[in-house]
């Protein structure tokens, strides 16, 4: 049995973590009262946040698993403040992690654009890598592009810092790409959180299950070490009528991925996990699709989990060599940084000339 | 001396007059026409025109006289006949020691005779022409009064008034005359007043109905069982020149001692409602009233109620003695009235009543008086259906719910920050 640590940092990380815990209970609103979490491994979850209200909103994560870093009510999307706050509270965070025991792998879930999550995650991963020898993976959610310049520049720096932190891989999810998940902003966020949580749980199960065809943590590490260290996850499930072939194709299509990518062009390594009743899992169809993918990207690990009576579900983890979407994002981020810099310079100039206030210099009020 | 003789002669004359009215005196009947075969009855003497024999212009009248007997027989009397040679009229005469009857013929036809009848030595109480001769004559006998004395009540107390009625009926064969009534006052009673006194002096025989003779009222003055003195009627019958008397019956009257005035406590119990559900309360109001002018003492008011009713509360006078509500008062004033409320809890379904029991001393004796309320109907309570099931039916779910609630509370706290 694997020992897995999942850390949700910042509001986004907290909510995805809470969704993971909810689904581990079974998914119902009141499941925490009557059900037990069904993790296949020993899973420890820790939510970290400087905003206590975000922690209080969590419903399925135990209070003892919520770590509040006292700093007003958040860091206001300012990564400089956030990083300093992490440095100030690093010992508390690491002590909390240490108290949970030894782990075989860790996942740090965060948004790249916010304050606490984007600023805490890179140094936290670096500290974990410096302290422990288990692999640490970042699960990073990219922002809506229209959310503003600060979020874009935060994303750019967060991803860079995380990449340089020694992380063993970054799994990307993209709000911009996944926003079809809901009809309004709230349901979209909830849908994205649920989607990400469902895929992570599937991944955890795949890493620690007795499978007909085995994939394990070692395979996952090999997959994640490929390419540029950037990966995404695809997912699809059948309805009992469609073939396993089409379901695999769907999981690898842009609609099935968390991050927009052309797998066959940009992929480096992949791992495909199939789960469902034996009658749906046609080995010829599966082999043909695996062969097709491996012929494009190289090596593909595959695992099969037999579940009697269950309709087939597919999880695919694909590392990317290059990603056009990420390049586009960084182009936007550079523009955003420059726009913020120009704004800064302009305001600094206005301050120097005194602006409107200087007009009354030397005058006294008359009564 | 001359005055003395006048007085003496007067007294003798008065004596003779008294004697002549009080005893037999002469009785005359003139020009009585009696047909042949008919007769005339004077008391029990019967004069019969027995025969008229015609011969040329003369008529020979034959009159017989008889003494009627009480047994229906008669005795023919010895009649002496003297015929006047001048006028050919006949004189018939009966003569005994004291009685003399003379029938003097005055005229005679072939069918009837006209006669004068003179008697002496007879006190005539009955005289009547009789058609049909001797066979139609009726014996005139002695009177006999049957006297009754009736009272309107036979059980009285001292001071009470009794009305006495005296009635009489002549059950003899002759008229009762000169009737006087002695109502016969009884020792132990005081005559109060006469109500009716106009009784007849004479009662004819043969009337089957009683005649009211005398009514008076008397007051009981002495206790005991008293046999009233009979009334006495005295009367006479001139036929026999005798006096008679008759006694009435003697009613028995019980006269009780005059009652000592005591107190009397009247009791009523009224429920405020007669229908209620089990588990509800009902109040009974007990009204206790002394209806006499004498106070009652050592008064104790108890409530007797079924175990299905539980005493809950009541007025300030109520004390709990041996787990029962009791009111005790050393004295309950004359003409005093009060009300006491008792509230009971209905424990079981059923039909119940309660009894109020008051014991007291009325001034002479210890009295116990009880009264029972109207029925009250206790129906099933709103939640009585819950009692149909054993306790564990409720306890187990409660334990389960409590455990679930406890679990939820504990679990909620685990997830609450």
- Phi first, then psi: give them for residue B13, nearest 5 degrees: -65, -45
Residue B236 phi/psi, 5-degree rounding, is -140, 170
Within 10 angstroms of residue B359's Cβ, the number of other Cβ atoms is 16
Q: Are A98 and A57 in contact (CB under 8 A)?
A: no
* A216 assigned to some structural domain: no
Average pLDDT over residues A164-185: 82
Please tell me the total count of domains within chain A.
Answer: 2
DSSP conformational letter for B412? H
**What pLDDT, in 10s, does the model give residues A224-276?**
998 888 999 999 999 888 889 999 999 998 888 999 888 998 999 999 999 99
- Chain pair A-B, CB pairs under 8 angstroms: 24
Report residue A128's pLDDT band, with 50, 70 and 90 as the boundaries. very high
Contacts of B405 in chain A (CB under 8 A): none
Rounded distance between C-alpha atoms, residue A340 and residue A285, angstroms = 52
Q: How far is A11 from chain B (nearest CA, A)?
A: 15
In the stretch 57-116 of chain A, residues with CB closer than 8 A to chain B read: 58-64, 66, 68
Let me know whether A63 and A158 are in one domain: yes
Q: Is residue A191 part of a domain?
A: yes
Q: Which residues of B touch A63 (CB under 8 A)?
A: 413-417
Residue that terminates a domain, selected from A169, A192, A208: A208
- Of all residues in chain A, the percent with pLDDT exceeding 70 is 95
Q: Are residues A112 and A246 in the same domain?
A: no
When CB atoms are compared, the residue of B407, B408, B415 closest to A63 is: B415
Is A203 domain-assigned?
A: yes
CB contact under 8 A, B417 and A63: yes
Give the mean pLDDT of chain A: 89
**Residue among B411, B412, B417 minimizing CB distance to A66:** B417
Burial degree of A183 (CB within 10 A; 0-12, 13-18, 19+): exposed
**Contact yes or no for A62 and B416 at CB 8 A:** no
Residues A255, A128 share a domain: no
Same domain, A160 and A252: no
Mind spelling out the 3-state secondary structure of A56-119?
A: HCCCCCCHHHEEECCECECCCCCHHHHHHHHHHHHHHHHHHHHHCCCCCEEEEEEECCCCHHHH
Of A33, A58, A62, the CB nearest to B408: A33
Say if residues A325 and A331 touch (Cβ distance below 8 Å): no
For residue B415, the chain A residues in CB contact (below 8 A) are 32, 58-63
Where do the structural domains in chain B lie, given as residue ranges? 28-136, 145-256, 270-379
Q: Which residue numbers in chain B have pLDDT < 50?
A: 1-3, 7, 9-23
CB neighbour burial string for B22-47, b if at least 16 within 10 angstroms, e if fewer? eebeebebeebebebbbbbbbbbbbb
Burial of B398: CB neighbours in 10 Å, binned 0-12, 13-18, 19+: exposed
Residue B175 CB contacts under 8 Å (≥ 6 apart), including other chains: B125, B143, B202, B203, B204, B205, B237
Look at A62 and B407 and tell me if their CB atoms are within 8 Å: no
A32 touching B (Cβ < 8 Å):
yes
Q: Are residues A174 and A309 in the same domain?
A: no
* B145-256 and B270-379 share one fold: yes
Number of other residues whose CB lies within 10 A of the CB of residue A292: 15
- A360 inside domain: no
Give dist(CA A248, CA A267) in Å, integer.
15
The residue from A305, A320, A335 where one domain ends is: A320
**What pLDDT, on the 0 to 100 scale, is given for residue A8?**
97
In chain B, which residues have their Cβ closer than 8 Å to the Cβ of A36?
Answer: none
A55, A63, A68 member nearest B414 (Cβ): A63
Cβ separation of B417 and A58 shorter than 8 Å? yes
CATH classification (class only), B145-256: mainly beta
Q: Are residues A23 and A68 in the same domain?
A: yes
Residue A303 lies in a domain: yes
A246 and A203 co-located in one domain: no
Which member of B407, B408, B415 has the closest CB to residue A62?
B415
| Residue A289 is assigned to a structural domain of this protein | yes
Closest Cα in chain B, distance from residue A53 (Å): 10
Q: Which of B183, B185, B184, B180 lies closest to B145, judged by CA? A: B180
Closest CA to B133 of B43, B47, B42, B32: B47
Å between A32 CA and nearest CA of chain B: 8
B416/A33 Cβ within 8 A:
no
| Same domain (yes/no): A72, A168 | yes
> Are residues A7 and A153 located together in one domain of the fold?
yes
Decide if A351 is inside a domain. Answer: no
Q: Which residue range forms the structural domain that includes residue A239?
A: 233-320
Whether residue A144 has pLDDT greater than 90? no
What CATH number corresponds to the domain at position A73?
A: 3.40.50.1440
CATH 2.60.40.10 fits B270-379, yes or no: yes
A307-346 pLDDT, tens per residue?
899 999 999 999 999 888 889 889 988 888 888 888 888 8
Residues A249 and A197 in one domain: no
Probe site for chain B from A33, A58, A64 (most B CB atoms < 10 A): A33
Domain boundary among A320, A343, A359: A320
* C-alpha distance across the termini of chain B, in Å: 165
In this prediction, the answer to ipTM > 0.90 reads no
Is residue A181, in this structure, part of any structural domain at all? Answer: yes
Residue B415's closest chain A neighbor by CA? A62
Compute CA distances B346 → B70, B272, B305, B355, whole Å: 91, 14, 11, 16
> A163 and A294: one domain?
no
Q: Rounded to an integer, what distance in angstroms lies between the CA atom of residue B106 and that of residue B276?
A: 112
CB contact under 8 Å between A62 and B408, yes or no, is: no
Residues A196 and A239 in one domain: no
User: Could A32 and B417 be called an inter-chain contact, meaning their C-beta atoms sit closer than 8 Å?
Assistant: no
Considering only CB atoms, which chain A residues are within 8 Å of B412? Answer: 33
**Kindly report the CA angle at A143 between A137 and A146, in degrees rounded to 5?**
165
* Predicted confidence (pLDDT) at residue A353 exceeds the cutoff of 70: no
Q: What is the CATH number of the domain that holds A254?
A: 3.30.1330.20
Across A165-176, average pLDDT: 93
């Amino acid at each position: 049995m694997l020992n897995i640590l999942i850390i949700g940092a910042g509001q986004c990380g907290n909510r995805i973590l809470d969704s993971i815990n909810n689904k581990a209970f079974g998914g119902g609103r009141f499941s925490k009262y009557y059900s037990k979490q069904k993790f296949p491994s020993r899973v420890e979850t820790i939510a970290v946040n400087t905003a206590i209200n975000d922690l209080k909103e969590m419903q399925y994560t135990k209070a003892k698993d919520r770590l509040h870093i006292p700093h007003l009510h958040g860091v206001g999307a300012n990564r400089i403040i956030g990083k300093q706050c992490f440095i100030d509270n690093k010992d508390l965070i690491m002590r909390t992690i240490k108290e949970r025991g030894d782990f075989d792998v860790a996942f740090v879930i965060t948004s790249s654009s916010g304050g606490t999550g984007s600023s805490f995650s890179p140094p936290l991963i670096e500290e974990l890598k410096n302290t422990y020898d288990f692999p640490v993976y970042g699960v990073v959610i990219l922002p809506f592009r229209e959310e503003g310049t600060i979020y874009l520049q935060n994303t750019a720096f967060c991803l860079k810092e995380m990449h340089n932190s020694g992380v063993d891989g970054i799994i990307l999810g993209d709000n911009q790409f996944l926003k079809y998940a809901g009809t309004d902003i709230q349901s979209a966020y909830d849908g994205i959180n649920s989607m990400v949580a469902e895929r992570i749980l599937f991944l955890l199960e795949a890493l620690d299950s007795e499978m007909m065809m085995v994939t394990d943590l070692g395979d996952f590490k090999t997959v994640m070490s490929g390419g540029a260290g950037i990966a995404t996850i695809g997912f699809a499930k059948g309805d009992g009528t469609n073939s396993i072939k089409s379901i695999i194709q769907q999981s690898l299509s842009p609609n099935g991925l968390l991050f927009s990518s052309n797998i066959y062009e940009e992929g480096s390594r992949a791992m495909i996990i199939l789960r469902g009743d034996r009658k749906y899992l046609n080995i010829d169809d599966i082999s043909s699709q695996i062969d097709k993918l491996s012929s494009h990207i190289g090596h593909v690990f595959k695992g099969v989990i037999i579940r009697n009576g269950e309709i087939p579900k597919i999880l695919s983890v694909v590392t990317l060599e290059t990603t056009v979407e990420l390049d586009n994002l960084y182009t936007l981020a550079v523009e955003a940084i420059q726009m913020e810099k120009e704004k800064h310079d302009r305001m600094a100039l206005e301050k120097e000339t005194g602006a409107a206030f200087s007009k009354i210099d030397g005058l006294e009020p008359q009564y | 001396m001359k005055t003395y003789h006048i007085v003496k002669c007067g007294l003798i004359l008065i004596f003779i007059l008294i004697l002549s009215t009080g005893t037999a005196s002469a009785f005359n009947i003139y020009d009585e026409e009696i047909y042949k075969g008919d007769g005339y009855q004077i008391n029990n003497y019967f004069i019969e025109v027995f025969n008229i024999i015609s011969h040329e212009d003369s008529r020979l009248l034959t009159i017989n006289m008889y003494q009627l007997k009480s047994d229906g027989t008669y005795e023919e009397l010895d009649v002496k006949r003297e015929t006047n040679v001048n006028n050919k009229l006949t004189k018939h005469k009966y003569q005994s020691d004291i009685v003399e009857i003379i029938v003097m013929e005055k005229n005679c036809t072939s069918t009837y005779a006209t006669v004068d009848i003179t008697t002496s030595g007879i006190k005539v109480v009955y005289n009547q022409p009789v058609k049909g001769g001797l066979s139609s004559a009726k014996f005139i006998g002695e009177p006999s009064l049957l006297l009754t004395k009736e009272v309107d009540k036979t059980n009285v107390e001292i001071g009470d008034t009794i009305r006495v009625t005296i009635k009489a009926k002549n059950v003899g064969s002759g008229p009762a005359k000169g009737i006087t009534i002695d109502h016969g006052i009884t020792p132990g009673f005081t005559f109060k007043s006469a109500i009716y006194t106009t009784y007849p002096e004479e009662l004819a025989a043969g009337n089957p109905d009683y005649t009211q003779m005398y009514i008076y009222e008397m007051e009981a003055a002495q206790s005991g069982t008293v046999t009233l003195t009979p009334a006495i009627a005295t009367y006479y019958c001139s036929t026999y020149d005798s006096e008679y008397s008759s006694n009435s019956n003697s009613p028995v009257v019980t006269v009780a001692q005059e009652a000592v005035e005591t107190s009397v406590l009247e009791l009523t119990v009224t429920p405020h409602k007669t229908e209620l559900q089990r588990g509800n309360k009902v109040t009974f109001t007990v009204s206790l009233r002394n209806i006499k002018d004498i106070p009652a003492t050592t008064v104790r008011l108890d409530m007797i109620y079924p175990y299905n009713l539980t005493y809950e509360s009541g007025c300030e006078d109520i004390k709990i003695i041996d787990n029962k509500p009791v009111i005790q008062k050393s004295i309950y004033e004359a003409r005093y009235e009060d009300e006491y409320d008792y509230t009971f809890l209905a424990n079981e379904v059923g039909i119940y009543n309660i009894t109020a029991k008051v014991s007291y001393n009325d001034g002479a004796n210890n009295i116990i008086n009880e009264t029972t309320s109207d029925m009250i109907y206790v129906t099933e309570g709103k939640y009585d259906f819950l009692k149909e099931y054993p306790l564990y039916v409720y306890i187990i779910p409660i334990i389960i719910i409590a455990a679930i609630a406890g679990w939820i509370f504990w679990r909620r706290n685990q997830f609450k920050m």
